[in-house]
Amino acid sequence: MFSFLFRKESQVESLIYDYLENFHLTQENFRKAVSACILNHHCEEFDFLIEQTHKYESRADDIIDEINNLMYGKVLIPDSRGDIMNLLQALDKIPHLLERVLFIIKYQRIVIPDALLPDVRDLVRISLESCDLLARQVKLFLKKKTGARALLTTIDTNESHCDHIERRLIATIFDSDMDPFFKLQLKDLVINIGEISDQTDRVSRQVNILIMKRRV
């Protein structure tokens, strides 16, 4: 009986690592889509990369369903099932955000003005850096290793930096002479990109709480 439960626990941990690898692939396709076609959303590569991002985002949902089925099938794990599932569900909001940003660019036919490009690129770069750090933090938590607190601090710093860039972008947008409707489209896009770092920071804090609970 106990060997059976141990196998199920190992399966859960293995699936979480699968999820993190899939999480990385979602980010990479998002990164390539933004980098390659940020000025021209009609290019074929952009459509392909959106499809790839969607594929990995959908796979993320499937993996979480697998984990949920195992977790509530009397699997024994050192942390509560509810805590782990809440963490994964919060983490899974990030791939949805990545996909949403690409859909906004594609279906609203947004071409980002040259004046905004440096800040938009920085906003994306720093947000994805935080995603990478978050994945490392989750792995440290799973392996019960130290160093997660330092990652939390860096992610929090990145989130503050992204907030600053987001505010500057919105101010620049509304100080410009662009069409008022286009201003609202750009504002919506910037807010959705900014939400990536916000959600990453929230999840990072959840991981830190789980680490502290483990020590009690």
pLDDT at 136: 96
Burial pattern 143-173, b for ≥16 Cβ within 10 A else e, equals eeeeebeebbeebbebbebbeebbeebbebb
3-class DSSP state of 185: helix
pLDDT of residue 76: 52
- Which residue, 172, 182, 49, 168, is CA-closest to 108? 182
What pLDDT is recorded for position 41? 55
Give how many domains the chain has, as a whole number: 1
Helix, strand, coil % in the chain, rounded to nearest 5:
85, 0, 15
Closest CA to 159 of 189, 191, 188, 196: 196
pLDDT at 10: 77
Residue 2: what pLDDT? 34
pLDDT for the residue 25: 95
Mean pLDDT by groups of 10 residues along the chain of 216 residues: 49 90 95 80 78 92 89 61 88 95 91 92 96 96 87 96 98 96 97 98 94 77
Q: Which domain holds residue 205?
A: 2-215
pTM for the predicted model, two decimal places:
0.89
Instruction: Assign residue 21 the CATH number of its domain.
Output: 1.20.58.220
User: Residue 145: what pLDDT?
Assistant: 87
Count the Cβ atoms, other than its own, within 10 Å of residue 188.
13
